[in-house]
Structure 1
Amino acid sequence: MTQHTRVTMADVAAAAGVSVMSVSYAYGRPDRVSEETRGKVFAAAERLGYTGPHRGAQSLRSGRTNNLAVVLTEKLTYAFDDPQARRFLSGVADACLDTDTGLVLLPNRSVDADADRVRDAAVDGYVFWTTVTGDPLLDVAVSTGRPVCVQGGPQHPGTTLISIDDVAAAEAIARVALTGARRPLVSAFPSDKHRERRLEYGPDPEGVEFPVTRNRLRGYRAAVIAAGLDWADVPVAFGTGSFRAEGVRAMQDHGRALRADAVLAMSDEVALGALEVVHEDGLVVPGDIAIVGWDDTEDAAGAGLTTVAQSLYEQGRSAARAVLGGDAVATPQWRVVRRTSTR
């Protein structure tokens, strides 16, 4: 047999003196053959240079690829740069480890190539990192017949949702931030897929495409009204994402001029950016200005930041288990962690 001839399972069976089915079982279902038979198969395979069954062919026969896709509504680098994305993906990876499943990262940049990439991905299911309401890629993923779980929303037909109650959590953290405050500033996530920075007073949450942003604005609005303030007078600085630089920019561009005495940030990273500017300006926290974040990161704890604690690691693990094993998804827990950044 020349080195240019591909060794087949039948060749190994003939060399080992066993059936082709025995060779297949030796590699794919070793419990179905004796140790002696496995020894003959592997010895013959080594002599012939056979490296095992073709994984693609196995996948076609079984209908499974042992791969899971995580679809990011961000640049792929976000998965490595953002601490909460890393926590979420760690949870996904842990669930994959339990089931000997590979992990595939796919971008969702609202371009045509993304739809083809999602549709053609050799995966057993999809986990979406928060996307916009009406995202066409959700329909693409559902149309494959594979299970789909969405973290943070939206709730979409044919998918499973995993998310804390963002409305209730936002109202709770905002009530803490607004104690003694009259000029709050909301430093928000993007409102839509265009991710344009803008300042808007009292925006209607129902017009916001990102469900996480929309639900947190609903909660903030409820707390503002409960505090006796007019939501129409509250400035909301929409940013491009959950980045520390967005908190810096919101304070520099708007917080200073507005003399904000409370900042409601939609992530700890954004809150920490705002805190940097506050310290630069020599303001006292929380006397001059109170600041709250979201996620309860290690950096937030070190900075004394009041925040909403949730486990994105557990959400990632639960989302992956729902897709890979059909496990039920329970509503994740959250709590307000009060520290020194609020009154």
Structure 2
Amino acid sequence: MTAKKIWTLKSIAKELGVSNATVSNAFNRPDQLSKKRREEILASCRKLGYSGPNKAAQSLRKGQFNIAALVLPDSVEYMITDPVASSFVKGVSSVLEKNKVNLLLFSGVSDSIDSVADFVDGFICYGSPRNSALIEQLKLTDKKVVTADFDIDRKASVGIDNQQAAYEIAKLAIKTKDDDVAILGLRIIDSQLTSRVYDLPELDLHASISHQRLQGYRRAIAELGVNFREDRLWNIPESNHHYALIAAKEALSSSPRPNVLLCMSDTIALAALKEINAMGLKIPQDIRVVGFDGIEEATRSTPPLTTIHQHSEVKGNKAAELFISRATDTITIPYYIESGKSC
């Protein structure tokens, strides 16, 4: 059996008796040839089984691939099920598609960006990656980098003021200095366990959304003169119902039971509401709950959740626009408190 011939631009041009430039123009610059001449060359190439110049080689020569890598904070499998992340990805992809740029999803638990760095135009980084080594690599790469919800001094970032938003909603939830407050935190520490946090690591307000929100809660607690117990802070490793329910059950079984729950995501807050309802407690008379994010499900909960509504899709739009324009701006997205009946 005769092996299929592998054609190159040079060999196909020689076979057709034309210059390399003529074949290249037929595929890439049709205005340089007459319509009849171009169709003849393309028909001959199809007959011989040549589909055109190597696109990867062209991209390497130009240094442009029309691909943006979206670095997620966690695994791709986990992040595509998260409603907030999905909205952000939707916002990014809508802008990139209009500009004919493809999107590559890159896991935040990967070992290195080196596996894709040579084949993308740059990185849009959504939240601090779980593998912190990626942050140092993103700081050093010569490719374009845009960050969302954290900053690595690359001078192109987008996000909301998480600390101020957390401060405002905590002040709304806490009514008196005698309130007993519990915080259901998200990735407060580097652990895969749902657990109380007694020894808090040094807060990295630039790299961690959760630490920004925690700082906002603590500022409100201190300002209102509330005695915050050291055993009332929980770490939840992922924003999902299973892990959140474990923390909510433990918090609600504490003695004395807290009457205010500050939750770092709506998913966590919704799990807490479910457990509170199952216990027969009244909201907000017995316990007040606030979330963070403004996902659609929060408006349908019982009762509707009071939360910070951040425009995740708009945030994605702006991050992609910074990437396309190669701008170096820092953009702060507005947010608002969505008033439900849980507070």
**TM exceeding 0.5:** yes
Question: CA offset at residue 329 of structure 1?
Answer: 4.6
Q: Is the 8 A contact 1:45 1:51 kept in 2?
A: yes
**Structure 2: where are the runs of 5+ without partners?**
none
1:338 aligns with 339
Query: CA 1:178 to 1:316, structure 2 compared with 1: closer, same or farther past 3 Å?
Result: same
1:206 equivalent to 2:207? Answer no
2:277 corresponding residue in structure 1: 279
1:69 partnered with 2:65:
no
Pair 1:229–1:265, CA change in 2 (3 A): same
Q: C-alpha distance in 1, partners of 2:281/2:31? A: 69
Using the TM superposition, give the Cα deviation of residue 126 of structure 1 relative to its aligned residue in structure 2, in angstroms: 0.9
Matched, 1:191 2:192: no
Q: CA deviation at 1:7?
A: 2.3
Shift of 1:193: 3.1
**Which residue is equivalent to 1:82?**
82
Contact 1:177–1:262 (Cα < 8 Å) also in 2: yes
Query: Is the CA contact (8 Å cut-off) linking 1:142 and 1:159 kept in structure 2?
Result: no
Amino acid of the structure 2 residue aligned with 1:336: I
Tell me: CA distance 1:10–1:207, structure 2 relative to 1, closer, same or farther (3 Å).
closer
Is 1:174 the counterpart of 2:175? The answer is: no
C-alpha distance in 2 between matches for 1:263 and 1:136? 33
CA distance in 1, matches of 2:30, 2:280: 69
* CA gap 1:13/1:313 in 2 versus in 1, 3 angstroms: same
Q: Take 1:226 and 1:142, find their aligned partners in 2: how far apart are those partners? A: 36
Greater shift in the superposed pair: 131-140 or 311-320: 131-140
- Which of the two has greater helix per residue? 1
Which one is further off, 240-249 or 9-18? 9-18
> Structure 1 residues 40-49 or 210-219, which shifts more?
40-49
Contact 2:159 2:332 in 1 (8 A): yes
Partner of 1:157: 153
- How many residues are paired up? 337
Q: Distance in 2 between matches of 1:33 and 1:224?
A: 73
User: Is 1:227 matched with 2:228?
Assistant: no
* Post-superposition offset of 1:296: 0.9
Give 1:249 deviation, angstroms: 1.2
Residue pairs, 1:136-147, within 5 angstroms = 136-147=133-144
DSSP 3-state at the match of 2:187: coil
In 1, the alpha carbon distance for the partners of 2:260 and 2:90 equals 33
Structure 1 vs Structure 2 CA RMSD: 2.7
For residue 299 of structure 1, what is the amino acid of its counterpart? Answer: E
Helix, strand or coil at the partner of 1:251? helix
Residue 131 in 1 paired to residue 128 in 2? yes
Given candidates 261, 264, 271, the residue that maps to 2:262 is 264
Which stretch has the larger CA shift, 271-280 or 87-96? 87-96
Unaligned runs of 5+ in 1: none
TM-score, reference length from structure 1: 0.88
Deviation per residue, 1:145-172 (Å, 9 max, x gap) = 101122211x213352221001110011
| 8 Å Cα contact 1:68-1:126 kept in structure 2 | yes
- Equivalent residues of 1:132, 1:193 under 8 A apart: no
When the two structures are superposed, what TM-score results if normalisation uses the length of structure 2?
Answer: 0.88
- The alpha-carbon deviation at position 4 of structure 1 amounts to 2.0
The answer to whether the 8 A contact 2:155-2:330 is kept is: no
Q: Given that residues 179 and 259 in structure 2 are in contact (C-alpha distance below 8 angstroms), is that contact kept between their aligned partners in structure 1?
A: yes
Paired letter, 1:25: N
Query: Contact 1:246/1:273 (CA < 8 Å) preserved in 2?
Result: no
Q: Are the counterparts in 2 of residues 132 and 210 from structure 1 also a CA contact under 8 Å?
A: no
Are 1:173 and 1:336, in contact at CA under 8 Å, matched by a contact in 2?
Answer: yes
Residue 57 of structure 1: how far off its partner (Å): 0.5
Cα distance in structure 1, aligned partners of 2:106 and 2:23: 36
Distance 1:135 1:159, change over 3 A: farther
Q: Closer, same or farther in 2 for the Cα pair 1:204/1:234, shift >3 Å?
A: farther
